[in-house]
Structure 1
Amino acid sequence: MKRIAYAGLVGSLLSAAVLTATATSAQAAARDGVCQTGEFCLYYNSGQLGSVSDFAGSIDDYGASQPECYDFKGAGAGQGLCVKNAAASVWNRTSGNVTVFFNSGYGGASQSVGSGVKANLNATLKNQNASHRFGGSTGSSYGAPGTNPHPEAITRAPSATARTQFVDNEIARLTGETQCFVGDYRTYQESTSNHNTGNALDCTISSAIGTYPNATQKAQGWKLAEWVKQYAVRLQVRYVIWDGKIWSVGRASEGWRTYTGGSGVTGGHYDHVHVSIQNRYGD
């Protein structure tokens, strides 16, 4: 099992560059009803018309009523209304994919919008949208894994079962993620836990366990999590946890749900993607 450790400018030119970068970042971060570079924007009307609501990050629930909801802030039709189930078009001014979802918690039907793309929401999502995620639904950009040929089995951590090792090998081969491991035997968990029986992997995404990922790492984590979700049946995966969300084969129709089994950077799975393999035990 793998256990992998984890000419500048000067003078006024440097000052100018820093000030420009800071101003641009601040503009993109402010929800001011103006679609800035680095933001994902929802419009009340088709064709990027009407009031706009601009975002600099993922939102797992737009909220249903004022004053808690995210609203349309720009001038024009729809200004002041809640965004949830009211957007008709989008403009992705970020550097990566953004995916709009029918349900809160990144669930249900979805539409992925490429970097720089202006688009009308499709018939399923027009005025029926509840969340969006930066970097989501990009798993298909990785190749399809082989079908896991190994039967369910148990071993003792830190060893992996053959079924789990197959998943680890396919992740490394097709996604380039090589920091996945079973980990040591966890005396604070039941002996039948998936980690203790060699039937779970933790794939470190941030710079180190205990550290929140930066924006690029977070998007990469979602890319891996979505890929595992996409091929869960083929890989014999039971569930995936990442970024405070959980998806399971048994409740696939609910999409990504809020994870309540832990808190903090590691307990909430913000620094690593957890992959549980199907076996005879529930956890």
Structure 2
Amino acid sequence: MPRSTAIRRLTGIALAATAVTGLTLTTAGTASAATHKNGNVESGEFGLYYNSNYAGCVFDLLNEDGNFADNRFISSTSSQTCPGQGQITNDNTASYWNRDVTAWDVYTDAGRKGIHGYVPLNYYGNASATYKNEISSSYPF
């Protein structure tokens, strides 16, 4: 194979590798754009709302939380208050929104105990009678 053909092929491979690396870094940067527990349900998060119909303050998660007893609902802005602000999240959730890329498991007791529920990705709704004001822990599936 002539030298110029080999150089062109190697250059093409190097450019393709650089493009793939850049795409990977760009994708990773986008996924980490969500801010955990800031009162705003962003893409990539699982959010629990104090009131039904996605109203009131929010508890938003990027990662599992095995015990909601030490968490509180917060407002998405420091200048505004919302129903439930400062209330403990444990056994206090009326609706939810799963904006994560995976399903989430919820439990009525801490540490994956109690009644188990499943929230599919991109699902939002009011908690059923079994889970309304009963959710105590959650884990990405």
* Correspondent of 1:84 among 81, 90, 101: 90
Paired residues of 1:113 and 1:119 also in contact (CA < 8 A): no
**How does the TM-score come out when normalised to structure 1?**
0.39
Matched, 1:119 2:125: yes
Structure 1 residue 110 displacement after superposition: 2.3
Which of 17, 35, 39 does residue 45 from structure 2 map onto? Answer: 39
**What per-residue deviation string (whole Å, max 9, x for no partner) do you get for residues 174-232 of structure 1?**
xxxxxxxxxxxxxxxxxxxxxxxxxxxxxxxxxxxxxxxxxxxxxxxxxxxxxxxxxxx
Q: Give the Cα separation in 2 of the matches to 1:73 and 1:9.
A: 42
CA–CA distance in structure 2, aligned partners of residues 47 and 83 of structure 1 = 17
> Which of 7, 17, 20 is the aligned partner of 1:8?
17
1:266 corresponding residue in structure 2? none
Provide the alpha-carbon RMSD of the alignment: 2.1
Match of 1:71 in 2: 72
2:114 to 102, 108, 117: 108
Partner of 1:133: 139
- DSSP 3-state at the match of 2:114: strand
- 1:92 positional shift: 0.6
Letter in structure 2 aligned against 1:32:
N
Tell me the amino acid that sits aligned with residue 84 of structure 1: N
Mapping 1:233-272, distance limit 5 Å = none
- Provide the TM-score with structure 2 as the length reference: 0.75
Aligned residues: 120
Cα distance in structure 2, aligned partners of 1:46 and 1:8: 48
Per the TM alignment, residue 18 of structure 1 is displaced from its structure 2 partner at its CA by 3.3
1:23 Cα offset (Å)? 5.2
Q: Deviations over 1:65-115 (max 9, x none)?
A: xxxx11112252111111001110100111111121111111111221100
Q: Distance in 1 between matches of 2:89 and 2:72?
A: 5
Gaps of 5+ in 1: 1-6, 64-68, 136-283
- Structure 2: which 5+ residue stretches go unaligned? 1-15, 76-80
Moved over 6 A (4+): none
Displacement of 1:54: 0.5
- 1:18 and 2:16 matched: no
- Alpha-carbon distance in 2 for matches of 1:20, 1:108: 37
Distance 1:77 1:8 in 2: 50
2:12 alignment partner in structure 1: none
Larger relative contact order (C-alpha < 8 A, sep ≥ 6)?
2
Amino acid at match of 1:8: A
Query: How far, CA to CA, are the matches of 2:107 and 2:47 in structure 1?
Result: 14
SS in 2 for 1:22: helix
Counting aligned pairs with the same residue, the percent is: 30
